């Protein structure tokens, strides 16, 4: 085998240019004590200098020439300071989610549609990448904790499952934080909802109505909740509770909390239910829960029923199914919790359900806004459509929201907002 000399080291001729530059960069990083994640600037300059030096040396030696210096620099930087072959998809603004079923099957989603990529990861490379992703999160994954939810430095959400929960390979999902809108007006510009619906929802949030955002996976629930949060009056103090930080509330007085996994001894876990309880001790003007899935729904209902305005998201196929689910989840809190308590509490605590969905072409839209009157009939919560979808368009329905007095107290003409005044 032929060997070449590069910056005082011996390298095999069969190595690619990227491998040669990568090895030199890693050695210099080690010598200089740099951390690619905490010192990205110096590492980027180092990569550029090594590529330039290599290009100059290759002109007068047997080193293989660099055909694309910028491409080599990008690939090396992805290796040492990024997430290797997955970095290109993380950098692509059109990619919303990345998932890996096995090292040779990497998928991405664009505009709500999935596609199989040509990216192939080497043996052991996926495990190394996952370890690198978890490095800054403070979370871990092992046989005792085969699932992990974590946030990457750019705000993307990572979920990993390892064998033997999965059959053979670890399953990795990276849901990128692609916040295309920061306000309801921007959602109107994107075609998600109408201007009339946006004005009504802004007024409802400002008036302190309790709002539940429902929808399927990747339907835009978190984006909608973020945009609703932007309508909260700036003077209010907001406390958010999430499994992993995803909300971005653009207000001056905000406290954000996330759950915590148990430590190696199995202690120290902080579930979402605990966060909701602690939030009530922090003098909030508004409580926002990223998503309710289990018994924390009971604590949220109790908080809302005490007069504290709040919002949350929930997985559901329709607004009415979301109401049914809100009546069911609190039952997980214990045998002493029954429908006789939960159903009227939901009816009196939740004011609006905002349901979002995805069209076949990937377009996210507001499908319906349903109001809860506060009344029940047996074990069924009475609802009314405020906005609904007809012939593919969001239109005004016949229902009206509760608490018209709150709208008036905040200076809103509810009839004019809903277009009920001729």
> CA 356 to CA 352: how far, in whole Å?
13
DSSP conformational letter for 270: B
Report whether CATH 3.30.450.90 matches the domain 88-175.
yes
From 172, 151, 163, select the one nearest 108 (Cα to Cα): 172
Whether 30 has a pLDDT exceeding 90, the answer reads no
The domain ranges of the chain are 17-82, 88-175, 184-418
Q: What is the mean pLDDT of residues 237-261?
A: 93
From 95, 90, 355, select the one nearest 220 (Cα to Cα): 355
Residues 138-162 as b/e (b if ≥16 CB within 10 A, e otherwise) read ebebeeeeeebbbbbeeebbbebeb
More confident residue, 62 or 249: 249
pLDDT score at 265: 76
pLDDT band at 64 (very low <50, low <70, confident <90, very high): confident
pLDDT score at 3: 35
pLDDT score at 297: 95
Q: What is the mean pLDDT of residues 122-150?
A: 86
Asked if 326 and 374 touch (Cβ cutoff 8 Å), the reply is: no
Q: What is the mean pLDDT of residues 357-362?
A: 86
User: CB-based contacts of 80: which residues, under 8 Å, 6+ apart?
Assistant: 22, 25, 26, 29, 36, 43, 47
pLDDT score at 301: 94
Q: In terms of C-beta density within 10 A (0-12 exposed, 13-18 middle, 19 or more buried), how is residue 41 classed?
A: exposed
Overall fold of domain 184-418: Rossmann fold (3.40.50)
Q: What's the predicted TM-score (pTM) here? A: 0.79
Model pLDDT for residues 181-218, shown as the tens digit of each residue: 889 999 999 999 999 999 999 999 999 999 999 999 88
What is the full DSSP assignment across 213-269?
EEE-TTSSHHHHHHHHHTTS-TTS-EEEEESS------SSSEEEEE-B---TTS---
Q: What is the mean pLDDT of residues 135-158?
A: 85
> CA 403 to CA 414: how far, in whole Å?
10
Whether 12 has a pLDDT exceeding 60, the answer reads no
CA 46 to chain centre: 33
CA angle 230, 214, 98 (to 5 degrees): 85
> CA 63 to CA 58: how far, in whole Å?
5
């Amino acid at each position: 085998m032929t060997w070449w000399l590069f910056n005082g080291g011996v390298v095999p001729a069969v190595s690619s240019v990227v491998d040669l530059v990568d090895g030199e960069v890693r050695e210099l990083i080690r010598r200089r004590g740099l951390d690619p994640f905490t010192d990205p600037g110096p590492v980027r300059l180092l990569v550029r200098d090594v590529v330039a030096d290599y290009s100059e040396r290759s002109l007068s030696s047997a080193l293989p020439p660099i055909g694309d210096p910028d491409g080599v620099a990008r690939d090396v930087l992805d290796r040492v300071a990024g997430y290797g072959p997955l970095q290109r998809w993380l950098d692509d603004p059109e990619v919303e989610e990345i998932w890996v079923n096995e090292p040779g099957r990497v998928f991405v989603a664009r505009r709500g549609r999935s596609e199989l990529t040509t990216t192939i990861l080497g043996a052991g490379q996926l495990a190394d990448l996952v370890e690198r992703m978890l490095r800054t999160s403070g979370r871990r994954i092992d046989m005792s904790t085969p699932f992990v939810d974590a946030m990457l430095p750019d705000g993307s959400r990572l979920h990993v499952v390892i064998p033997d929960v999965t059959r053979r390979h670890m399953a990795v999902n990276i849901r990128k934080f692609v916040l295309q809108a920061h306000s309801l007006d921007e959602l109107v510009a994107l075609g998600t909802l109408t201007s009339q619906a946006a004005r009504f929802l802004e007024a409802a949030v400002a008036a302190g109505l309790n709002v539940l955002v429902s929808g399927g996976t990747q339907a835009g629930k978190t984006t909608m909740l973020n945009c609703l949060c932007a309508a909260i009056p700036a003077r209010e103090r907001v406390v958010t509770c999430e499994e992993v930080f995803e909300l971005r509330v653009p207000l001056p007085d905000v406290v954000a909390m996330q759950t915590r996994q148990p430590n190696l001894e199995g202690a120290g876990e902080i579930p979402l239910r605990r966060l909701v309880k602690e939030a009530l001790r922090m003098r909030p003007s508004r409580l926002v829960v990223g998503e309710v899935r289990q018994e924390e729904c009971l604590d949220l209902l109790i908080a809302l029923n005490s007069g504290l305005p709040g919002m949350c998201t929930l997985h559901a196929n329709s607004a009415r199914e979301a109401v049914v689910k809100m009546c069911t989840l609190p039952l997980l809190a214990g045998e002493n919790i029954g429908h006789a308590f939960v159903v009227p509490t939901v009816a009196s605590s939740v004011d609006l359900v905002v349901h979002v969905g995805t069209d076949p072409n990937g377009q996210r839209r507001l499908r319906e806004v349903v109001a809860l009157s506060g009344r029940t009939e047996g074990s069924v919560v009475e609802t009314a459509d405020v906005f609904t979808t007809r012939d593919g368009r969001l239109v005004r329905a016949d229902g009206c929201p509760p608490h018209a007095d709150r709208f008036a107290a905040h200076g809103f003409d509810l009839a004019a907002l809903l277009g009920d005044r001729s």
